[in-house]
Structure 1
């Protein structure tokens, strides 16, 4: 297998033996993505899923980079130096409170727009002053 990788503006072609390829293979997570128990890194590929899937897999996805696409249903600006965005994608249960996901970001999306949020998922986050979340994506980048 040959892989082209760009490092500091220089493209390098990497040829990996079958043994090296096997060493790089990680088991798949609940979304069909390859994953490994590693320290959180912004350079890791995001694990994609629905809002309901993120709630369902919150224990294994805690502190991992994730991506979720949804409609912006609420935006609260400038709280603790961040914008707080609520996303819904039609999955989950309103009764069980698994249909809405809060995302913190520096971006300022319009309510009603559809975005993909990519950031670090955290479960059971308590910021104090009533800001307690079963699940939240922090410091997300929003993509149209």
Structure 2
């Protein structure tokens, strides 16, 4: 019996389970994951975590993570049968998160990230939005501003252009494409949000230069209609 108790105690220790106390962070509504595997791609870190005795895949904007580390998170968007072109792998499901945080960066009383925690303990992230942002993004040589594009769409129809901006929303793997809402701080008659389709993986808040072909009055069906859209977007270094 003593041997069985010792083995059970060892298993609880190895899996980070405290048999005598509840985790105050999970009590506050946060979810806890223990890192089992780490996969890095250009803009994301995929983590296979142990959560409540089950393994699952989550993805967050790039971080440095190690096996055995414990992270906490809320929310997220689950993507079933998610195909990663960079990893050449299809996951049964991946939960995409804006951020995760370590135990040291959490206020136990509120269950939220402690603003006074050391910056290295917190993974900062912007939240997706379709609202117009106040941005001050410098133009790139040879690039087109979003306001100019919306003002003179016929001039660029069917042509390849460059545009610099910030990712305000990212939706992966719909109709074989990733969908990016993109702003650069300019607008024309209320139009400021450029839709981009791409195979690139990005995070909200990324500021990049895209090159792609402009199409007009594009109807993908199922309510996906765009007067102006940049297709086959690739990120330029």
User: Do Structure 1 and Structure 2 share a fold, with TM-score over 0.5?
Assistant: yes
Tell whether 2:154 aligns with 1:59.
yes
Query: Which of 169, 193, 212 is 1:119 aligned to?
Result: 212
Alignment coverage as a number of residue pairs: 97
Structure 1: gaps of 5 or more residues: 1-46
Tell whether 2:184 aligns with 1:89.
yes
Listed as ranges, the matches of 1:1-144 within 5 Å are 48-93=143-188, 96-143=189-236
Q: Which has the higher contact order (CA 8 A, sep 6+)?
A: 1
Following TM superposition, the consecutive aligned residue runs of length 4 or more in structure 1 with deviations greater than 6 angstroms are: none
Q: CA deviation at 1:48?
A: 2.0
Structure ID, larger Rg: 2
Q: CA deviation at 1:97?
A: 4.1
Tell me how far apart the structure 2 counterparts of residues 73 and 86 of structure 1 sit (CA, whole Å). 5
RMSD of aligned Cα (Å)? 1.6
Q: CA deviation at 1:109?
A: 1.0
Q: CA deviation at 1:81?
A: 0.4
Give secondary structure in 1 for the equivalent of 2:154: helix
TM-score, normalisation: structure 1: 0.63
- Are the structure 2 counterparts of residues 133 and 50 from structure 1 closer, same or farther at C-alpha, using a change threshold of 3 Å? same
